[in-house]
Structure 1
Amino acid sequence: MIILFWILIFVLLYSYLLYPLLVGFLAIIVGKNRKELHIPDEKDMPTITLLVTAYNEEAVVDAKIKNSLELKYPSEKLKLLWVTDGSDDDTPNKVSGYNEVTLMHSEERRGKIHAMNRAAQSVETEIIVFCDANTYLTEDTLLQIAKHFQNDKVGCVAGEKQIFKDGDTAAGAGEGLYWKYESWLKRLDYKFNTTLGAAGELFAVRRELYQPVESDTVLDDFIISLRIASKGYIVAYEPKAIAREYPSFSVSEEMKRKIRIAAGGFQSIGRLKKLLNPFNNARLTFQFVSHKIFRWLVCPLALLLLIPIHAMVIYFNPEIPLYAYLGIAHAFIYVLAVFGWLFEKSKLNLSFIYLPYYFIITNIAQLQGFMRYLKKSQSVNWERARRAR
């Protein structure tokens, strides 16, 4: 029982603390030599299509297109393409009002990945930059992305996701802290070998490397980027290419998104099973198992099992006070999470209670997503989470 207890503790510590420290150490010892890159001269910049997939996003169309038109990039080398399949609000009409934007629209709603595949087939530029309608890019984002494609070994570039107003609500505080942590980990992964997946809010691929993925794919960004990595190309990480969005309106809205991502994560394990073979790419296998599989599957189960196992260890080993002290600390985390739930709708900046709350609900979402995956009940149609703005 005691051995199992410490195994569970190790699993949790490894996933969230020891792996980042280990991969950071390995990056120093045996990491890739990432030379400082400079923005290329205008004549050497690749042609880019900024592809936005949108479903019923009429509220953000004007702001998003304004943001896109303000990006620093040679106008003759940049195309703006929106695909609004299935939208039954005013999104297509609003987009069609901009001469600078090419619109693709179908009345049928078949999911984001079908829209992406359909639009990507029409792209003629060298690079496709995928971006969500509700994210806003810093003005030099495309320039920062373009510099990486000077290296022929780079097949994909992942940008950095940031959250606006990350301290105002439980969802905002938790989501903001999570993405700061995840961005730090992406930097370490990239220095060691390659970035482990890209976030759909902002990522770029070479057009010739884009391959349509299965129509029922949930995590299109993750599958696309890691299939490119599995071919031996680098997935670069560029922290200066920034996509910002507002947090989910509430934790319950964030849960909706997390459950969908979890279900897609388990689906992607099967579709990326080649990455589980260390003889193909040992470094990538190590990253995939440590960064994703542990986080998606092993940690939620460990967190669930730790409650009864810890209680039994305390009960059967009263002579060892260490386990009782750890039990108090264990219980305190859940007490903070309960307070996070109670103060969820407040505007108080209480990150120290929102973080445990967000951590617990994230792992609950993983378990719910796993059940949804087993039942094959996850729709490919995007279930939009309400945003704070």
Structure 2
Amino acid sequence: MLEDVMFLIFVLSFFTLFYIYFCYPFIIALVAKFKNKDTAQFSNSSEDEPFIAIVVPSHNEEKVIESKLLNHLDLDYPKDRFKIVVLDDTSSDETFAIASRLQAHYPDMIEVFQVFDGKGKTHAINTLMPTLDCDIVVFSDANVYLKQDALKQVSNVFLDSEIGGVAGQLSYINEGVNGSAYSNGLYWRYEEYIKECESNTGSMMGADGSIFAIRKALYRQLDTSILDDFSTSIGTICQGYRLAYSTAICAYEKGAEKSSEEFSRKVRISNRSFNTFRHLSKEIHATFSMFNLFKLYSHKVIRWFSFLPMLTMFLSSAVWMFFSCIGLTFFLLQLIGYFYLWLSYRNENIKLLGKLNDILLYFVMTNLACFIGVCLSIKGKKITTWKKANTTR
């Protein structure tokens, strides 16, 4: 009897993981084939282009802020129809000095807005947003570079009056590097595919801070404990608009090359994401369609708890092995695998499995980090400040 129970728990846990990472992407891709919701394929005349403000949240970004601004100054969009706003949040390095020097050369196109209280990115954005006079706000991290036609593509998407926000396609320029950067790039392409399928069925379930845009009128003041990009983008759906994804809006950045940096980043993101979900839960359940709730829970909520079925598989096989050689085999495979990946995490030169090693380590590390972040959220922990990964600069 106990053997049957442990076997059943093991199988259910396995299929929970299988659903999260394989079944849901297959389902949403299949639905997208029959319910393709295309974005606008025509463009504004130059006289009708909406005014765009590019907001660049920055905290100690002296290594990248100049190249970031020079990249944006070269964007193919009417120069009198956009501006770049450097949101300097309590920097202690040369970020403000560098941005101010460029502002002096391009006073009509660059603005520097300082916040000194050190309360985190979300609070800084809350402080800035009421001062902006624009039609569309593009949020883009300080280490992210945009393709020359990115603003034109953003403008085209918003020709569809049903769209309240749009996310662009992010690529990692150092994906060829083995380790976390390679795994992160591979995982991100997997994520981007799901987002595209979701968008083609109505709305994607949350945007990333690397590159996304919203109609200025849809911005709402945020609680400082929640993730600004996830909350702001989900908020457009709550207000009755679509959240789209466009492969035509292209952005580039370096991915974290150290597993330790990526682990810390995932803990912070999952903590703030789950805080966001809890904060908006009533509104989400009151305004989302059943299909959007299905997408949100399948893509986000259940996945935040992916480590639980992984742990359950391990524990159930630890009991099942006393009754079955198959149970013993599965337990030993997991035990040896987790121990090897722990050694690989401690010493990134240990890579007996090549690139598969990086993929498996990233999968386990990501799910553990997400689970820790969610548990911290449930315990009331709110991570409001951001520590960037140095290898992404």
What TM-score, normalized by structure 1, do the two folds share?
0.91
Contact 1:275 1:285 in 2 (8 A): no
Structure 1 residue 41 displacement after superposition? 2.4
Q: Quick one: distance in 1 between partners of 2:113 and 2:357?
A: 45
Per-residue deviation at 1:134?
A: 1.0
Provide the C-alpha distance between the structure 1 equivalents of 2:20 and 2:283, rounded to a whole number of angstroms.
Answer: 18
Match of 2:44 among 20, 40, 45: 40
Mark the CA change 1:226 to 1:276 in structure 2 (over 3 Å): closer, same or farther. Answer: closer
Structure 1 unaligned segments of length 5 or more: list them: none
Which residue in the other structure is 1:303 paired with?
310
- 1:354 paired residue number: 358
Counterpart amino acid of residue 17 in structure 1: F
Q: 1:69 aligns with which of 67, 73, 77?
A: 73
Q: Answer with 111-120 or 275-284: which moved more.
A: 275-284
Question: Residues 35, 211 of structure 1: CA spacing in aligned structure 2 closer, same or farther, 3 A cutoff?
Answer: closer
Matched, 1:128 2:132: no
From the superposition, tell whether residues 307 and 348 of structure 1 become closer, same or farther in structure 2 (CA, over 3 Å). Answer: closer
Secondary structure of residue in 1 paired with 2:309: helix
Shift of 1:46: 1.3
Amino acid at match of 1:378: K
Partner of 1:286: 294
Structure 1 Cα separation of the partners of residues 287 and 330 of structure 2: 40
Q: How much does 1:80 deviate?
A: 1.1
Find the aligned partners of 2:198 and 2:336 in 1 and give their Cα distance.
32
RMSD: 2.3
Partner of 2:182: 173
> Which of 25, 30, 33 is the equivalent residue of 1:28?
33
Does the CA contact (< 8 Å) of 1:193 and 1:283 recur in 2?
A: no
CA-CA distance at 1:317 after TM superposition? 3.3
Inter-CA distance 316–348: structure 2 relative to 1 (3 Å threshold): closer
**Alpha-carbon distance change, 63 to 371 in structure 1, aligned in 2, over 3 angstroms:** same
User: Is the contact between residue 140 and residue 212 of structure 2 (CA under 8 Å) also seen in structure 1?
Assistant: yes
The 3 A distance-change label for structure 1 pair 213 and 342 is: closer
- Is 1:142 the counterpart of 2:147? The answer is no
Aligned-residue offset at 1:155: 0.3
User: What stretches of structure 1 move > 6 A for 4+ residues in a row?
Assistant: 346-349
**Which residue matches 2:272?**
264
Higher deviation after alignment, 325-334 or 278-287: 325-334
**Larger deviation, residues 227-236 vs 366-375:** 366-375
TM-score, scaled to structure 2 = 0.91
1:14-57 deviations in whole A, cap 9, x for unaligned? 1110000011112223x243256133322232110111110111
Deviations 1:205-264 (CA, angstroms, capped at 9, x unpaired): 0011111111222x1100111111122201110112122111224110111111101111
Contact 1:333 1:356 in 2 (8 A): no
The letter for the 1-side match of 2:137 is I
Q: Residue 183 in 1 paired to residue 192 in 2?
A: yes
Amino acid at match of 2:371: L
CA distance in 1, matches of 2:283, 2:318: 37
CA distances 1:51-106 after superposition (whole Å, capped 9, x unpaired): 11101111111111111111111101011111102112111111111232111113
User: Residue in 1 aligned with 2:371?
Assistant: 367
Q: 1:9 aligns with which of 1, 14, 20?
A: 14
Counterpart-to-counterpart distance in 2, 1:276 and 1:7: 28
Q: Residue 131 of structure 2 aligns to a residue in which SS?
A: coil
| Corresponding position of 1:88 | 92
Q: Is the 8 A contact 2:262 2:389 kept in 1?
A: yes
With 274-283 and 179-188 compared, the bigger mean Cα shift is at 274-283
Amino acid paired to 1:300: F
CA contact (8 A) 1:195 1:236 kept: yes
Distance 2:25 2:290 in 1: 17
Identity across the alignment (%): 29
* Corresponding position: 1:273 with 2:281: yes
Q: Relative to structure 1, is the Cα distance of residues 279 and 314 closer, same or farther in structure 2, using a 3 angstrom cutoff? A: farther
Q: Which amino acid aligns with 1:183?
A: E
Q: Which amino acid aligns with 1:266?
A: F
Matches within 5 A, 1:306-385: 306-318=313-325, 321=326, 330=334, 334=338, 337-338=341-342, 340-341=344-345, 344=348, 350-385=354-389
Contact 1:168 1:348 in 2 (8 A): no
Match of 2:121 in 1: 112
Aligned to 2:228: 220
The aligned residue for residue 24 of structure 2 is 19
